[in-house]
Structure 1
Amino acid sequence: MEKFVDKNYFLVTKTDTKSNITYANKPFLEILNCHERDILHKPHNIVRHPDMPALIFKLMWETITKQKEIFSYVKNKTFDGHFYWVFANITASIDEQHNIIGYYSVRRAPNKKALEIVIPLYARLLEAEKKSGVAESERVFEEFLLKQECNYEQWVNQLQRL
């Protein structure tokens, strides 16, 4: 069963450089139906839904490890067996010497019209991954973006404005 993020809330987490959760705000804990003790110091992928293509996380890691921000649509699972969609903004947290010391993610309710595009696309990407790996998923996605005549960043930002 699907849960929905309140449009007035932001779901916030911070992680260390290995993606272990070091902070989670109350709205994040509430949608997951858990307590801090259930997720603190655990890998962030504890909430990763199996419907998410690995390619999306590959793109995220390639971007944030270069200290650039990325926006993405993400489907997560909850501790009570439900799921929810978010529009996520992920960035690196850096120290005074510009070293990455962790990551910061702020998520909000996704544009429902965008999900009409994202959900079937992610299903295609996941199918490609299951058949031939992430490289095939990446090829399918690049072909999709070519047809859209834009890059990933342009595409994802256009979706939120639909």
Structure 2
Amino acid sequence: MRYKEIFLQENTLITSKTDTKGNITYCNADFIKYSKMTEKELLGQPHNIIRHPYMPKVAFKALWDTIKTKNEFFAFVCNLNKEKETYWVFANVTPSLDNDGNIVGYYSVRRKPSAHGIKTLSEIYKQLNKIEKDKNLSESEKFLVDFLQSNNIQWNKLMIELQNTKNM
């Protein structure tokens, strides 16, 4: 299926908060605008309500593995809104902690992604999706770990570098 693509404006800051299971507890006007859903439709729903089927499962495994250890996570994410329009974001997800340092939820800010980052990650995501389809999630994760090690870079550093690189 071919999806229509829409693009974030430069000043867009899509923000949301979730509980520890990933259910939306807060969404701002930009989230509502790009998801093409109402606040009522979003609140209480799993954040993956906007997940595009194009996204490899391993990207979300990496997200959860990272944020559950109280670390922040960066990624280029392809989303799908209620009207079946695709939109890419550069996402930053951070755990929210209580006074005792326990995770009580997650906070995410998404902004306009770099075109270079989308182009680069699109190719990597295609490979990861193929591995997940032909083999399994574990093999996809192994490919990703090997890719990062062979390029001597950590996931978050790669994401930030791709976001800060101007179009080539």
TM-score tier (shorter): over 0.9
The match for 2:140 among 115, 137, 142 is 137
- The number of equivalent residue pairs is 162
Q: Which residue does the alignment assign to 2:10?
A: 7
Moved over 3 A (4+): none
Q: Hey, what does 1:161 align to over in structure 2?
A: 164
Q: 1:27 deviation in Å? A: 0.7
TM-score under structure 1 length normalisation: 0.96
Equivalents in 2 of 1:76, 1:94: separation in Å?
27
Cα offsets for 1:139-159 (capped at 9, x unmatched): 221222233221212211211
Stretch deviating more after TM superposition (106-115 or 136-145)? 136-145
Q: 2: CA distance between counterparts of 1:161 and 1:12?
A: 20
What is aligned with 1:25?
28
**Which position in structure 2 is the counterpart of 1:49?**
52
What code does the residue aligned with 2:127 have? Answer: R
List runs of 5+ in structure 2 lacking aligned partners. none
Letter in 1 for 2:80: K
Give the secondary-structure state (helix, strand or coil) at the position aligned to 2:99. coil
SS at match of 1:155: helix
The 1-side partners of 2:81 and 2:40 are apart by 15
Separation (CA, whole Å) in 2 of partners of 1:25 and 1:82: 19
Aligned residue in 1 for 2:75: 72
Percent identical among aligned pairs is 40
Letter in 1 for 2:43: L
Range 42-51 or range 139-148, more displaced: 139-148
* 2:119 aligned with 1:116: yes
User: What do the CA deviations read for 1:57-87 (whole angstroms, capped 9, x no partner)?
Assistant: 0111011111110111101110011010000
Q: Which amino acid aligns with 2:91?
A: A
Residues 65-104 of structure 1: pairs in structure 2 closer than 5 A: 65-104=68-107
- Partner amino acid, structure 1, of 2:163: Q
Quick one: which of 147, 150, 155 aligns to 1:152?
Answer: 155
Question: In the aligned structure 2, how far is the partner of 1:19 from the partner of 1:53?
Answer: 18
Partner SS, residue 5 of structure 2: coil
- Amino acid in the other structure paired with 1:59: A
Distance in 2 separating the partners of 1:144 and 1:66: 22
